[in-house]
Amino acid sequence: MTTLEAVTIIRAKFGDLISEPTEFRGEVSLTVSDSEKIADICQFAKSIGFNYLVDISSVDNYGTDPRWSVVYLLRAIVNGAEIRLKTEVSEEKSELPSVVGVWRTANWHEREIYDLMGIRFRDHPDLRRILMWEGYPYHPLRKDFPLAGKPTDLPGVAFTRITPMAGGPFVTVAGGNDSIAREPRVRVPDDEEVELNARIEARGDNKEMRGQAFGPGPIEKKSL
Amino acid sequence: MATIQNIEIGDSAARTAQAADELQDLQGERLVLNMGPSHPATHGVLRIVLELDGEVITKADPDVGYLHRGDEKIAENMTYTQFIPYTDRLDYLAPLANNVAYALAVEKLLGIDKSLPPRCQYIRVMCCELARISAHLLGLGAFAMDTGAVTVFLLTFTEREKIYDLAEAASGARLTTSYTRIGGLMRDIPPTWCAQTKQFCDEFEISLAESETLLTRNRIWVDRLRDLAPVSKEMAIDFGLSGPNLRASGVDWDLRKNQPYLCYPDLEFDVVVGSAGDCYDRYLVRMEEMRQSVRILRQCLDKIPGGWANDAHEPVCVADGKITLPPKAKVLSSMEELIHQFMLVTEGVNCPPGEVYFGHENPKGELGFFIHSRGGGVPYRLKIRGPSFINLSILGELLPGCMLSDVPVVLGSLDFVMGESDR
Amino acid sequence: MQAQTEHTEFGYNSKIEGDVVLTTVDAALAWFRKNSVWPMPMGLACCAIELMAAGASRFDISRFGSEVMRFSPRQSDCMIVAGTVSYKMAASLRRIWDQMPEPRWCIAMGACASTGGMYRSYAVLQGVDNIVPVDIYISGCPPRPEAVLDALMKIQDKIGKQPVLQDTVIAKALHFHGTGTPAGEEVSP
């Protein structure tokens, strides 16, 4: 089944939803007028042989409505036929049905589009940021976002979920008076959620020990 | 005598249950172990949050983005030629291949990708195959080092130094070559380059045989890699794998044969396809691919138009002044060339509006560039389809059921690089 | 090696090392320290590949004493930040720097680690010296392995001038008067 045959079959099934095919440099594109139906069309395309999703790209048509274009590039591995499906979404809606149920590779593609462009995907199993950190407030690939970025808060902890480590993170304190004060020791961070180890719990006065150093050696009673 | 082994691949829950039963461990608390982003065995900054039940992994969540540099947004602010150095840093193990991929994508947009000068095509193919050997060697070396076979790392790096010498002779830089330009190459290869490449091919085959003796039939190596993390054909296609990972699972798909570009149709080589899709197969596919690359290199050396020293002065760029920078002597003396130079440098190559996608067979997989152009010298949207990004998405499915010490093996066999994953 | 003055020579042969005669315990200990700088390779991007090449046979960083690339910060002396530091990575990088025991040094390898390099974008930290104190900056994109070795030699010179025992219990017990400058501070030659 060649690309043009596939185009005919798809148009026969979905009728007015699919535009006339356009060809540029040997590649055939179809525009889908109703973005809600894109998952059904992709499912149908997979059933007729397009079992490989090459790429999902998003384009920001800044200044025109609808603002987002999402481009799906499909391929039939068995004979190499390729087809491009394009759909458009307006900025108020910014939502598309997810095609994770059709090709599992779409999972990360859609997460990336959500992260960088801000388009949400309904029924996505795990829609969270993938390239920027959780809690980053902007969608950087939008045209109205400056290249150099805007000031944000870096995540306070190195990891998005606190890794339980018995006794707390063993880190040095750069500003201590001498090298003994700077040695890596058990330090209890100010965060309430970190598990305390048995030694600190046994002391019973851990609220006052927050932010101070423990372990062998003199206890520093300074606050950090 | 070949034995046929049926490998049944259950889903991750079944594998986990089976592993837990087999190990007869106490069903204790699950430990959440954070692996990375700074870790010797992750080939770059990859973080995996593993949930362990004893030694067995029950859940794996890869966290990428620690090398996200904003390439796609940067591309919207640069001309096509100015973006070439950024492509070097995508798959930084094979920068020549990335350069060729990007140049071909823009040339496809311009419509000149089928009419490049033949010498340029042959040189580009040689650069791609050298890059392929270089990337596979480093993947192999790092993979072997992670599992303990440190000697192989040093052997492979010695061969890579020879490829670096070749890259430096051609482009001036060992690693970040930026060798191609839109419509051709930065400059022609020096006259001794082909002889040096031929010498490399001869020496490399001996060295590769050495590394193979150390690994391929090694009992420890085989035990660690065999039957580990098998990927079925359907799973590989569903997850969008490409390159050696896809071929090791039994899918006969190589862009050089299925969607040929440059002068690959004139060259004879085999597509290396595996059968079991486990780590050992992925390793074997890469080893054999290196041999096929040497085969391609030898054919190119025989057939290169203009010969080794290019006495006939075959061009390496298209002769169109609107695409290639004109020769400097003409720029300084003739008005038309001066205008071409000025327009190309300040505004870039004027590309027609339209959308184009070009997929290139990179060592790690299919590196694709989707260019949405609205005319002019600066792309409106450049999307980079990084093969490693997509290859990594399978980790969440592949790691559960494996043991903790299998993780570096699986990561090494998938052979990804974070530069093109995070872009 | 006779020592008649109040300074003593410790195990140093000027015929082998050169005509510089070092005469204090500090200098000898600094010599031991500088010839076994164990790097912590914070290999993030392309520079990491050139760092690996510096560790491989052709350029061989181990002849300078930096044989073991300690990936554990607890066991390393010098953190070589090789590659682009993104904001997402910055928190982890600072955490690893905190875990390194003193004395510790930092080399910013390459343009991206020094100043952000050619990536002036929303995701890239414009120089790792925003979060860790850098001793040596190496320029290049990526720097050649020879440049990495040159930086290592400069770090060795810097370490050679740093006092080791000062104001510590041992120094006081040996009746040594150190130079009074704490470790890690700039020592003008």
**pLDDT tens-place string over residues B7-20:** 766 677 777 777 76
Query: CA nearest B406: which of B242, B278, B285, B249?
Result: B278
Q: Tell me if the bond preceding A184 is cis, omega within 30° of 0.
A: no
| pLDDT interval class at C1 (50, 70, 90) | very low
| Identity at A140, one-letter amino acid code | P
Q: DSSP character for B42?
A: G
Give the number of other Cβ atoms within 10 Å of residue B256's Cβ.
20
Tokens of B312: 């006939």
- C11 CA to centre of own chain: 23
Who's near A224: CB < 8 A, 6+ residues apart? A173, A175, A187, A211, A212
Distance from CA of B90 to the nearest CA of C (A): 9
* pLDDT at residue A3, rounded to an integer: 84
Tokens of B3: 């034995």
Query: CA nearest B148: which of B226, B232, B41?
Result: B41
Domain that holds residue B231: 78-384
* pLDDT at residue A20, rounded to an integer: 87
CA distance B280 to B216: 9
CA angle at A81 for the pair A75 and A84, rounded to the nearest 5°: 55
The mean-pLDDT minimum among A130-134, A190-194, B337-341, B394-398 falls in: A190-194
Subunits next to A (3 or more Cβ pairs <8 Å) are B, C
Check pLDDT > 80 for residue B398: yes
Phi then psi for residue B410, to 5 deg, are -65, -45
How many domains is chain C partitioned into structurally?
1
CB of B30 within 8 Å of any CB in chain A? Answer: no
The mean-pLDDT minimum among B18-32, B107-121, B157-171 falls in: B18-32
Domain that holds residue C109: 38-152
* pLDDT at residue A135, rounded to an integer: 81
Give the number of other Cβ atoms within 10 Å of residue A212's Cβ.
18
In a domain, B401, yes or no: no
Over residues C82-101, mean pLDDT: 88
CA angle at B360 for the pair A128 and A52, rounded to the nearest 5°: 55
Query: Among C88, C91, C121, whose Cβ lies nearest the Cβ of A147?
Result: C121
| pLDDT interval class at B181 (50, 70, 90) | very high
Query: CA nearest A115: which of A137, A100, A130, A97?
Result: A130
* pLDDT at residue B175, rounded to an integer: 92
Tens of pLDDT, residue by residue over A130-172, are: 998 888 889 999 999 988 888 877 654 444 343 334 445 555 5
* pLDDT at residue B95, rounded to an integer: 94
- A119 CA to centre of own chain: 11
Residues of B in contact with C53 (CB under 8 A): 157, 160-161, 164
CA distance B67 to B256: 29
Distance from CA of B43 to the nearest CA of C (A): 9
The dihedral of CA B166, B169, B170, B171: what is its sign? Answer: positive
Burial of A146 (0-12, 13-18, 19+ CB in 10 A): exposed
Check pLDDT > 60 for residue C48: yes
CA distance A198 to A155: 28
In a domain, B18, yes or no: no
Q: List the single best residue of B76, B362, B370 to mutate versus A (max A Cβ within 10 A).
A: B370
Q: What is the bridge-based pairing of β-strands B365-373 and B354-362?
A: antiparallel
Q: What is the Cα Rg of chain C in Å?
A: 18
Subunits next to B (3 or more Cβ pairs <8 Å) are A, C
* pLDDT at residue A217, rounded to an integer: 36
The helices-and-strands tally (H runs, E runs) of chain C is 7, 4
| Identity at A20, one-letter amino acid code | E
Which CATH number do you get for residue C139? 3.40.50.12280
* pLDDT at residue A84, rounded to an integer: 93
CB of A62 within 8 Å of any CB in chain C? Answer: no
Q: Indicate the pTM of the whole model.
A: 0.84
Using the structure block, give the residue that is written with the tokens 């259950």: B10
Task: Determine, for residues A80 and B68 on separate chains, whether the beta-carbon distance falls below 8 Å.
Answer: no
Over residues B264-277, mean pLDDT: 92
Query: Among C74, C92, C120, whose Cβ lies nearest the Cβ of A148?
Result: C120
Query: Among C99, C120, C121, whose Cβ lies nearest the Cβ of A170?
Result: C99
Residues of C in contact with A131 (CB under 8 A): 123
Q: What is the Cα Rg of chain A in Å?
A: 27
CA distance C109 to C106: 9
Check pLDDT > 50 for residue A196: no
CATH superfamily label, A3-122: NADH:ubiquinone oxidoreductase Nqo5 subunit (3.30.460.80)
Who's near C26: CB < 8 A, 6+ residues apart? C163, C164, C165, C166, C178, C179
Element (H, E) at C82: strand C78-82
Burial profile B352-378: b = 16 or more Cβ within 10 angstroms, e = fewer: eebbbbbbbbbbbbbbbbbbbbeebbb
| pLDDT interval class at B380 (50, 70, 90) | very high
Q: List the single best residue of B31, B32, B61, B68 to mutate versus A (max A Cβ within 10 A).
A: B68
Rounded to the nearest 10 degrees, how much is the dihedral formed by the CA atoms of C38, C43, C46, C49? 50
Task: Determine, for residues C86 and B66 on separate chains, whether the beta-carbon distance falls below 8 Å.
Answer: yes
Over residues B260-289, mean pLDDT: 93
Q: Quick one: chain C helix, strand, coil %, rounded to 5?
A: 40, 10, 50
Q: To the nearest whole percent, how much of chain B has pLDDT over 70?
A: 96
Outline which parts of chain A fall under CATH 3.30.460.80: 3-122
Please provide the size of chain B in residues.
423
Query: Among C84, C96, C141, whose Cβ lies nearest the Cβ of B69?
Result: C84
CA angle at B34 for the pair B31 and B38, rounded to the nearest 5°: 160
In a domain, C92, yes or no: yes
Q: List the single best residue of B29, B104, B106, B239 to mutate versus A (max A Cβ within 10 A).
A: B239
* pLDDT at residue A198, rounded to an integer: 34
Please provide the size of chain C in residues.
189
The mean-pLDDT minimum among A216-220, B281-285, C34-38 falls in: A216-220
CA distance B293 to B312: 27
* pLDDT at residue A182, rounded to an integer: 61
Check pLDDT > 70 for residue B132: yes
CB of B359 within 8 Å of any CB in chain A? Answer: yes
CA distance C176 to C172: 6
The mean-pLDDT minimum among A111-125, A199-213, C37-51 falls in: A199-213
How many domains is chain B partitioned into structurally?
1
* pLDDT at residue A163, rounded to an integer: 39
* pLDDT at residue A166, rounded to an integer: 44
| Identity at B330, one-letter amino acid code | K
* pLDDT at residue B259, rounded to an integer: 92
CA distance B103 to B99: 6
Using the structure block, give the residue that is written with the tokens 């300040």: B346
Q: Tell me if the bond preceding A189 is cis, omega within 30° of 0.
A: no
- ipTM > 0.90, yes or no: no
> For residues B81 and A223, which has the higher predicted lDDT (pLDDT)?
B81
Distance from CA of C10 to the nearest CA of A (A): 25
* pLDDT at residue B25, rounded to an integer: 52
Give the number of other Cβ atoms within 10 Å of residue A193's Cβ.
6
CA distance B195 to B186: 20
The mean-pLDDT minimum among A10-14, A80-84, A105-109, A197-201 falls in: A197-201
Task: Determine, for residues B65 and A130 on separate chains, whether the beta-carbon distance falls below 8 Å.
Answer: yes
| Helical spans, DSSP H, in B24-149 | 71-75, 84-88, 95-110, 118-147
The mean-pLDDT minimum among B60-74, B381-395, C11-25 falls in: C11-25
